[in-house]
């Protein structure tokens, strides 16, 4: 049957109001256009639905039998439309952010809490993951945007610089390295190193830096999680190299550990906002991203 929803709506309003003139006004269309819709509907059904005179509009017997079905269909369509709007509205109010663990554990939770207190209708969902996972979440659309440290270009992503995050050495309090205000890369050649797994951007930076001085690095331990690396340091098993944002300063100090920034141009992690090159952010996601950018700018000022 080749008829349309607007034609059913036209038939419903004419029947409900008993007037083409009033129905055309409700539907915000001309009376001749409304007449065409009714005629198309009758032609598609192969029956006459309305008897029209100069003074009145009445239903034919077929029209009387057809009207309850039309009313039910339009009511069900309205329910479906309203439900779809609710789903779309919930999606517009949900912001999913993918972030590397160091930021997901320190900076972002505080920003999320403050943002949701100011915008209670918006739900911010945080998903953490190492470098490539953040990129994949953004590319697949599972995250609105990501915050990470990409080391390669990707035509499907838009990268915007956000902050600089130097790498630091973490060691037990009282270690000889504590006497230095900063540490050179060469100073780490004589100590057992605890490094993160190769999947971490930080590990990539470390490997490249050591290769630049023709000293490939071999760690005594590799950790998949920052707390593991800190636990190994606390047990006196070596010196960890982490991003300065990777561990809470207070936690390190109370745990009997100390940190020093490593003075080397390659050992700086570039934090960036990662967005899809083909998708636009929702207003809520844009608002949250602006908040993150403002906080990072204040901290770096």
**Which pLDDT does position 250 carry in this prediction?**
47
pLDDT at 98 over 70: yes
Instruction: Residue 172: name the closest of 252, 112, 83 by CA.
Output: 252
pLDDT tens-digit map of 135-167: 999 999 999 999 988 877 888 899 999 888 889
The span from the CA of 35 to the CA of 25, in Å, is: 13
Q: pLDDT digit string (tens) for 175-199?
A: 998 888 889 999 999 899 999 988 7
Stated as kind and residue range, the H or E segment containing 148 is: strand 145-148
The class level of CATH for 95-300 reads alpha beta
Provide the sign of the torsion angle of the four alpha carbons 226, 228, 229, 233, taken in this order. Answer: positive
> Quick one: which H or E segment has residue 283?
helix 283-300
Judge: domain 5-89, CATH 1.10.10.10. Answer: yes
Is residue 144 within 8 A of residue 97, CB to CB? The reply is yes
Average confidence (pLDDT) over 14-30: 89
**What whole-number percentage of the chain has pLDDT above 70?**
92
| pTM of this structure | 0.60
Domain range annotation of the chain: 5-89, 95-300
Q: What is the pLDDT of residue 249?
A: 52
Q: In this model, does residue 232 exceed pLDDT 90?
A: yes
- According to the model, what pLDDT value does residue 248 have? 57
Lowest mean pLDDT among 30-34, 87-91, 101-105, 118-122: 87-91
Residue 233 above 80 pLDDT?
yes
């Amino acid at each position: 049957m080749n008829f349309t929803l607007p034609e059913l709506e036209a038939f419903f309003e004419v029947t409900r109001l008993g007037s083409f003139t009033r129905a055309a006004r409700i539907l915000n269309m001309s009376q001749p256009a409304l007449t065409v819709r009714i005629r198309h509907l009758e032609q598609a059904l192969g029956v006459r639905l309305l008897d029209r005179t100069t003074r009145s509009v009445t239903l034919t017997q077929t029209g009387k039998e057809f009207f309850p079905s039309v009313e039910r269909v339009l009511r069900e369509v309205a329910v479906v439309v309203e439900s779809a709007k609710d789903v779309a509205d919930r999606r517009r109010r949900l912001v999913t952010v993918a972030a590397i663990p160091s930021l997901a554990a320190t900076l972002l939770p505080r920003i999320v809490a403050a943002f949701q207190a100011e915008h209670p209708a918006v739900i911010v969902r945080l998903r953490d993951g190492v470098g490539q996972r953040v990129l994949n979440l953004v590319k697949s659309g599972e995250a609105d945007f990501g915050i990470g440290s990409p080391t390669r270009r990707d035509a499907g992503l838009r990268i915007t610089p956000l902050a600089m995050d130097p790498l630091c050495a973490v060691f037990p309090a009282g270690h000889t390295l504590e006497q230095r205000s900063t540490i050179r890369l060469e100073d780490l050649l004589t100590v057992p190193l605890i490094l993160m797994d190769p999947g971490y951007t930080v590990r990539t930076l470390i490997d490249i830096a050591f290769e630049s001085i023709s000293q490939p690095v071999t760690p005594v331990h590799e950790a998949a999680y920052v707390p593991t690396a800190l636990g190994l340091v606390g047990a006196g098993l070596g010196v960890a190299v982490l991003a300065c944002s990777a561990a809470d300063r207070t936690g390190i100090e109370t745990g009997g550990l100390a940190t020093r920034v490593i003075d080397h141009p390659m050992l700086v992690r570039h934090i960036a906002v990662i967005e899809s090159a083909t998708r636009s952010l929702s207003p809520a996601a844009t608002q949250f991203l602006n908040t993150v950018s403002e906080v990072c700018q204040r901290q770096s000022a």
